[in-house]
Structure 1
Amino acid sequence: MPKYLIERDLPGLGLMSPDELAATAAHSNSVLASMAPAVQWQHSYVTGEKMYCVYLAPDAEAVREHARRGGFPADAVNEVSGIIDPATGEAA
């Protein structure tokens, strides 16, 4: 299944408490349950003003539908074409 990186603009995100982040995750989980197994959330990175989420989905529209149903922004949805890390450079 294709992997997507979603960028969400969320001013003040970095100031959210652990309880607020947990409530946001729980809400996302409930939306995902209604879309399973087509859309799967792998993990997210929280920064001061943005969240970067990694999802598995059949297409970008399915990711956008999750965002619409959940009331989440999906400012950019990009399909991941590859993954590199330090070990990638060691093979050269």
Structure 2
Amino acid sequence: MPLFLIERNFAEQLEFTTDSVREVTEINQEIGVHWLFSFLSSDKKKTYCLYEAPDPEAIREAARRAGVPADVIIEVDQINPSAFL
């Protein structure tokens, strides 16, 4: 399945709750996208998330339904963390 890096910009600092994470996870499962991992900026207003998804439109739909931005979506070829060691 293709990999996508998503940049999300938030006006306010993010505060994650168990319920909000559960809701996003359920929406992702319904649409067929799979979150792999995320980075949160030091000001807590921006995230960079790696997802598996069939296409960018599935990511946009999941973001729309969850009420979160998907400001930039970039398809990436592969992630190899050991290449940075």
Range into which the TM-score falls when normalised by the shorter chain: 0.7 to 0.9
SS at match of 1:31: helix
Shift in Å, 1:84: 4.8
1:72 correspondence with 2:37: no
**TM-score under structure 2 length normalisation:** 0.79
Instruction: In structure 1, list runs of 5 or more residues that go unmatched.
Output: none
Instruction: In structure 2, list runs of 5 or more residues that go unmatched.
Output: none
Identify which of 22, 27, 33 aligns with 1:39.
33
Identify which of 42, 47, 52 aligns with 1:51.
47
Instruction: Give the structure with the larger helix fraction.
Output: 1
Partners of 1:84 and 1:56 in 2: CA distance:
15
User: Quick one: structure 1 residues 84 and 29, their matched pair in 2 at CA, closer, same or farther if it must change by over 3 Å?
Assistant: closer
How well do the aligned residues superpose, as a CA RMSD in angstroms?
2.1
Corresponding pairs, count: 83
Report percent identity of matched pairs.
Answer: 36
Partners of 1:82 and 1:42 in 2: CA distance:
13
In the TM superposition, structure 1's runs of 4+ consecutive aligned residues that sit over 4 Å from their partners are: none
Corresponding position of 2:20: 24
